[in-house]
């Protein structure tokens, strides 16, 4: 006997697509609408915060399957998984009977049939399905916590970086200036000079125009921004 392999993309490719669309730890539970009417005789939207929490907890405890995003490959298990299956090697392993029952259920089939939304639409995902607590842990582990913190989101630097990644900006001169400044500080931290550093063609053409137009302006420009020496231009 071996551990149950659960439901993965090897069993149905749509399972991985489903897991890529949700950060929720499970599924198959009763609707919050049904539970709120049963517990409080009111719609979920009319409940107080403490009542909503009770409804959400009740729904979570009614889940029939659990999503294991962290496994390789990402896997779904029935809450009633038998934990063990017969080793059929070299034939592919099949999930246990309980996990296969989940796969055959109508609610599961509806879940994996939903098309994957466009990346831009993920911002509309219900906050309940965005595990912020886990997100903060992950952000710390990959050193991007500062980028995700609320105080950083509206800074011009983060907005510009996001705009570049989204293809909103295409300013080769400014991009070359940014690259030069970052390289300058990086080299200073390592105690290395700017010798032999190659500036981007667009940025180099821009500063050369300044040099030709006004040598005095170029010398002032060079005091503040990285640029080649006056004599380096040919």
Q: What is the pLDDT of residue 58?
A: 92
185 & 115 share domain? no
- Nearest Cα residue to 160 out of 184, 181, 178, 176: 178
116 & 201 share domain? no
8 & 81 share domain? yes
> Is 51 part of a structural domain of the chain?
no
Helix axes 106-113, 14-21, angle to 10 degrees: 80
> Is 187 part of a structural domain of the chain?
yes
Q: What is the pLDDT of residue 84?
A: 93
**Boundary residue ending a domain (79, 113, 130):** 130
- Scan for tokens 């809450």, then name that residue: 79
What domain range includes position 147?
135-165
Number of domains in the chain: 3
87 & 144 share domain? no
pLDDT band at 149 (very low <50, low <70, confident <90, very high): low
Residue 124 has pLDDT above 80, yes or no: no
This prediction has a pTM of 0.56
Q: Is 113 in a helix, a strand, or coil? A: helix
Quote the mean pLDDT of the chain.
Answer: 83
217 & 201 share domain? yes
118 & 208 share domain? no
> Is 56 part of a structural domain of the chain?
no
- Quote the tokens at residue 119: 């990346």
Residues 67-109 have pLDDT tens digits of 999 899 999 999 999 999 988 888 888 999 999 999 999 999 9
- Nearest Cα residue to 48 out of 35, 58, 36, 60: 36
Residues 176-223 have pLDDT tens digits of 888 888 888 888 888 877 777 888 889 889 999 999 999 899 889 988
- Cβ–Cβ < 8 Å for 4, 103: no
- Nearest Cα residue to 114 out of 14, 23, 25, 9: 14
Residue 148 has pLDDT above 60, yes or no: no
> Is 40 part of a structural domain of the chain?
no
| Percent helix / strand / coil, the chain, rounded to 5 | 55, 5, 40
> Is 142 part of a structural domain of the chain?
yes
**Boundary residue ending a domain (165, 184, 214):** 165
> Is 43 part of a structural domain of the chain?
no
- Which residue has better confidence, 114 or 116? 114
75 & 181 share domain? no
23 & 98 share domain? yes
> Is 45 part of a structural domain of the chain?
no
114 & 221 share domain? no
> Is 115 part of a structural domain of the chain?
yes
- Nearest Cα residue to 82 out of 186, 170, 2, 166: 2
14 & 121 share domain? yes
């Amino acid at each position: 006997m071996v551990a149950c392999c659960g439901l993965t993309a090897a069993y149905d490719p749509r399972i991985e697509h489903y897991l890529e669309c949700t950060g929720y730890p499970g599924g198959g539970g009763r609707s919050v609408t049904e539970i709120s009417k049963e517990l409080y005789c009111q719609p979920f939207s009319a409940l107080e915060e403490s009542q909503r929490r009770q409804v959400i907890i009740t729904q979570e405890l009614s889940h029939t399957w659990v999503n294991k995003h962290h496994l390789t490959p990402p896997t779904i298990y029935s809450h009633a998984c038998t934990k063990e299956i017969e080793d059929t090697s070299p034939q592919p392993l099949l999930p246990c009977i309980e996990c296969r029952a989940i796969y055959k259920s109508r609610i599961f089939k509806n879940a994996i049939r939903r098309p994957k939304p466009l990346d831009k639409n993920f911002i509309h995902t219900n906050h309940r399905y965005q595990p912020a607590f886990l997100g903060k842990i992950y952000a710390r582990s990959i050193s991007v916590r500062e980028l995700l913190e609320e105080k950083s989101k509206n800074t011009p630097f983060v907005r510009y970086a996001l705009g570049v990644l989204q293809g909103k900006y295409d300013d080769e001169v400014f991009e070359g200036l940014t690259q030069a400044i970052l390289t300058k500080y990086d080299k200073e931290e390592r105690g290395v000079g700017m010798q032999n550093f190659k500036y981007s063609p667009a940025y180099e053409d821009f500063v050369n125009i300044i040099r030709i137009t006004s040598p005095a302006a170029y010398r002032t420009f060079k005091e503040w921004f990285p640029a080649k020496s006056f004599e380096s231009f040919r």
